[in-house]
Amino acid sequence: MRHPRNETPSIFWKTTPIGYGYSDRKSEPFIASGFYYNHQWGVSEQHKSADLPNTGPYLVTNKHVIQPSDYPQPDSVIAYTRNPGEVQETTRHHIDLYKSDGEPKWREHPENNNIDIVLIPLDFELRETAMFHRANIVSDPTSISGGDLAEVVGYPAEMRNFHRLPILRQALISSSYQVSFYDSPYFVIDARLHDGMSGSPVVYAPSVVDIEVDEQEIDSDWGTVEPFTVEGTTERKHTRLLGVHSGERLEFDDEISMEDIESDLPNRDSDPDLRDFLRELEGRLENIERETGINRVWHAKYIDDIIRNY
């Protein structure tokens, strides 16, 4: 008999916490989130063209995660896979970020370097059920609209001792999914997320109910449908990958930065107390913005773009 804790939804098997590995200093065991992805081209191996890009598997996360501004540049990232048959047992992997010649291994968008998504090729095998696939990416954007509920699956930094199982948070899609928000390649969600959730998959998993019924009997004299009997129902979910959450602040061209304010001071060194106050104010504003719950999500379709252009 399978243990109940092994009946974890498959979405939990597809994600991983991400840490940093260094050759010359202690590793950082937990920084952000990521997920596994395999690109299926819809053709069998024997019919696959030689010029098709590598299908994977890949580790997907944010570009700012592997190029951090607040940590030394890591040599590798640390990720985990779950062992078959026991969801709480994991295997730890060190994934090199650079080739032997110093070139980066990760792949990013070839035309827009602002897109905060990277794919890191993996050299270990993963079960099909432990990865997202191309079929999970939304093919019809009009089927998703503002006001729909999505789910964010990742690893809040505040929670470290939890068998590396992710946390699932509900989020409201707060902008049009099919129209770029503020002319940028992302949409926004409303959810209270936390540090460490950068790189989390954002998914849409509506319930589909299959109903088996007896044949309907129509009364031709009255134009009515006779009552019918429900034989049984089956509820299932089809998870669709909407995008990759980024914990970076939302910034707009018309914002006034702290650098702009400081440059307008009569003497940059004349009033250090004022400068300290401005820095404290900036921190408070960032906290207020975080508390508003508005979060950026980069469209999953750019994963396909990245793979096709390598």
pLDDT at 137: 92
Average pLDDT over residues 77-101: 90
pLDDT at 52: 59
Within 8 A by CB and 6+ apart from 100, the residues are none
Question: In this model, does residue 240 exceed pLDDT 80?
Answer: yes
Question: In this model, does residue 140 exceed pLDDT 80?
Answer: yes
Strand ranges for 122-181 from DSSP E = 132-133, 149-154, 167-173
pLDDT at 221: 55
For residue 134, give the 3-state DSSP assignment. helix
CATH class of 4-208+238-308: mainly beta
pLDDT at 254: 45
| Helix spans in the chain (H) | 63-66, 258-263, 272-292, 301-308
Task: Look at 13-22, 45-54, 57-66, 267-276 and tell me which has the smallest mean pLDDT.
Answer: 45-54
Question: In this model, does residue 146 exceed pLDDT 70?
Answer: yes
Residue spans of the domains in the chain: they are: 4-208+238-308
Average pLDDT over residues 95-104: 96
pLDDT at 152: 96
Average pLDDT over residues 18-31: 90
**With bands split at pLDDT 50, 70 and 90, how would you rate the model's confidence at 252?**
very low
Q: In whole angstroms, give the CA distance from residue 91 to residue 212.
A: 43
Residue 268 near residue 262, CB atoms below 8 Å: yes
pLDDT per residue as tens digits for the range 152-187: 999 987 665 556 688 999 999 999 888 888 778 999
pLDDT per residue as tens digits for the range 255-286: 545 555 556 555 555 566 776 777 776 666 55
And the tokens for 161? 């001792």
Q: In whole angstroms, give the CA distance from residue 103 to residue 122.
A: 16
For residue 69, give the 3-state DSSP assignment. coil
pLDDT at 198: 94
Question: In this model, does residue 209 exceed pLDDT 80?
Answer: no
